Amino acid sequence: MSDLLTLYNTVRKHTVDICAPLQTEDYVVQPVVDVSPPKWHLAHSTWFFETFILRGYNPEYQEFDAQYHFLFNSYYEHHGKRTMRADRGNMTRPSVEDIYAYRAHVDVAMQDLLITCGLRAGFAELVILGCNHEQQHQELLLTDIKYILGHNPLFPQYSTDAPELDIEQRTDRSHSGSIEQRADRSYNESIEQGAEGGFVAVNAGLHEIGYDSNDFAFDNEHSRHKVYVNAFEIANALTTNEEYLAFIDDGGYTDFRYWHAEGLDWVRTNNIDAPLYWHLIDDEWFVYTLAGLKPLEPKAPLTHISYYEASAYAAWSGCRLPTEAEWEIAQSRFAWGKRWEWTDSAYLAYPGYKKAPGAVGEYNGKFMINQMVLRGASIATPAGHSRPSYRNFFHPHLRWQFTGIRLAR
């Protein structure tokens, strides 16, 4: 249990560290329905451990506050009524101080349980799931904080040590952490380095995708299965700001030829003419970062774009987006991990997918409709929380995550 205790304490501390630069007022704001207040993330990730583990494995556990079960349930129908998502920012009470006290209360109970529970059936699996769940919220915390501060007219700085500041110096997730072992794998014989132009060529053939280890993975990464792909090429680098700027300057946002009808409606209805956080000031492009408003860096990987924009840019480029199978087949031949990469695959179940019984079964399966898959990781993804089979997913109009483009053809 010592490894579980270390994992639990490390993950819980990192969440608090992410919130350390915030002012009290920052914890409560909810500018749009897709962005949750930081205070809510702190409470909901705590609610998960209380509800799924402490209530089930410690009959003597005393709730911190019975009302929190309603306030901080997210979408688990098995656990009854909950606060509507759009109302999370209306909760000025409980206070930020109350939420930190709630976290401390649950942490003490969890630490005791981790020491005394032993190897009861399902316990370790739920703790690991809870830690991975909190790591997902750590990424959401950073991106929600950026949205909150980035829509403040003062463009306040989150931190002088923000992850965006050293993006070009950061090690790609594909070459570090839990993914390091991939460097020792022999390349598939059907994958060859492409000719000049920055593309990797993959021959037609039968491949396997999906999770292939006994370690933790989310249920939507199973089961490993065979896919046949036609020959394709995939870019060995992400699209940069200056490359996307050429699309803007060429009238890309107003040329219907590149857009899905739904995407063009989204552009026109919302007056979209640039990626999220881009600002044209005195004919010069600036971008809001976690370190404040900065001049646009031409060579930096593009970020904060929707699937609609990614698909339109790909069409304008004479290319397309890769499918998620193509991405996973080729990922060992390029660096990834700075941006969640849009694919052209709808979020659907793999062959053999089975939902777990009870509330845990609501984790992924119920969202397998009207969403697109993203692959890789981003600069906001916690260390150790990325792997080649990871399937992220969002509605095609969303762009507040660190999303980017890798072209295919």
Q: How many helices (H) and strands (E) does the chain have?
A: 10, 12
Overall average pLDDT of the 9-13 stretch: 98
What DSSP string runs through 64-101?
S-TTHHHHS--S-GGG-----GGGGGG---S-HHHHHH
**What order do you get walking across the sheet with 232-235 strand by strand?**
191-193, 199-202, 232-235
* Element (DSSP H or E) covering residue 199: strand 199-202
Distance, in Å, from the CA atom of 140 to the CA atom of 128, rounded to the nearest integer, reads 19
In the three-class reduction of DSSP (H, G, I as helix; E, B as strand; rest coil), residue 278 is classed as strand
Overall average pLDDT of the 77-101 stretch: 89
Q: In whole angstroms, how far apart are CA 154 and each of 149, 150, 237, 293, 351?
A: 8, 8, 34, 9, 49
- What is the pLDDT, as a whole number, of residue 326? 98
Overall average pLDDT of the 299-315 stretch: 98
Angle at 313 between CA 312 and CA 318, to 5 degrees: 100
In terms of Cβ atoms closer than 10 Å to its own Cβ (0-12, 13-18, 19+), residue 194 is: middle
Percentage of the chain beyond pLDDT 90 is 80
In the three-class reduction of DSSP (H, G, I as helix; E, B as strand; rest coil), residue 28 is classed as coil
Distance, in Å, from the CA atom of 270 to the CA atom of 285, rounded to the nearest integer, reads 20
- What is the pLDDT, as a whole number, of residue 311? 98
Q: Is 183's pLDDT higher than 90?
A: no
**196 pLDDT tier (thresholds 50, 70, 90):** very low
The model's pLDDT over 101-138, given as tens digits with 9 standing for 90+, comes to 999 999 999 999 999 876 677 899 999 999 999 999 99
Overall average pLDDT of the 204-209 stretch: 98
Distance, in Å, from the CA atom of 238 to the CA atom of 271, rounded to the nearest integer, reads 26
pTM of this prediction?
0.91
φ and ψ of 93, to 5 deg: -120, 140
**2 pLDDT tier (thresholds 50, 70, 90):** confident
* Residues 155/292, Cβ–Cβ less than 8 Å: yes
Residues 6+ apart with CB under 8 A from 229: 202, 204, 205, 207, 323, 325, 326, 329
Mean of pLDDT over the chain? 90
**86 pLDDT tier (thresholds 50, 70, 90):** very high
**150 pLDDT tier (thresholds 50, 70, 90):** very high
- What is the pLDDT, as a whole number, of residue 77? 65
| Residue 56 token pair | 């089930």
> Which letter does DSSP use for residue 323 in this model?
P
